Amino acid sequence: MDPAALFITSSRRFLQRSYLPKIERCMDALSEEELWWRPNDRSNSIGNLVLHLAGNVRQYIVSGAGGAPDIRMRDEEFAAHEVMTKDDLRTMLRDTLEEVDGTLARLDASVLRNSITVQGRELTVLEAIYHAVEHFSMHTGQIIYIAKQLKHVDLKFYSFDKNVVHRNY
């Protein structure tokens, strides 16, 4: 596989098969109230982060790289307080990632060098995808940290057996 196609395939895999299952495992461990808990007014809840991730990845990949209309309302992602149930958040995130995956699946690797504008910034399609995947990873880590803080548990993403690491998601 050429590097450009590998980049697209790897981006799809990280979003769908690595980050999403980790976020869902965190959400499963939490109550509805805990999902929207904020340590202070300047911080975000897991619910806010899920809304933010869906908005960002759709803006950068579906709209930016894929050319769909940009419908994002970024400020609302952070202002929200208990606006969606856990099930609705999960469905919204899954649906968004399916849309992202479809966009990436249809994307011809030859367009990775094309210039696009996202959030008023000019960047290449490759940069937009790279940003979205990196951004998703960073906030997935925050979600994991918050869930562990609230529940005081190991979320068991990995198990170790005879020096071999197994993913549990």
Domain locations in the chain as residue ranges: 3-167
Beta strands in the chain (DSSP E): 115-118, 121-124, 158-161, 164-167
What's the pTM? 0.92
Query: What is the CATH number assigned to the segment(s) 3-167?
Result: 1.20.120.450
Coil, strand or helix: which one is 68? coil
pLDDT in tens, the chain (169 residues): 799 999 999 999 999 999 999 999 999 999 999 999 999 989 999 999 999 999 999 999 999 999 999 999 887 888 778 789 999 999 999 999 999 999 999 999 999 999 999 999 999 999 999 999 999 999 999 999 999 999 998 888 887 777 777 777 7
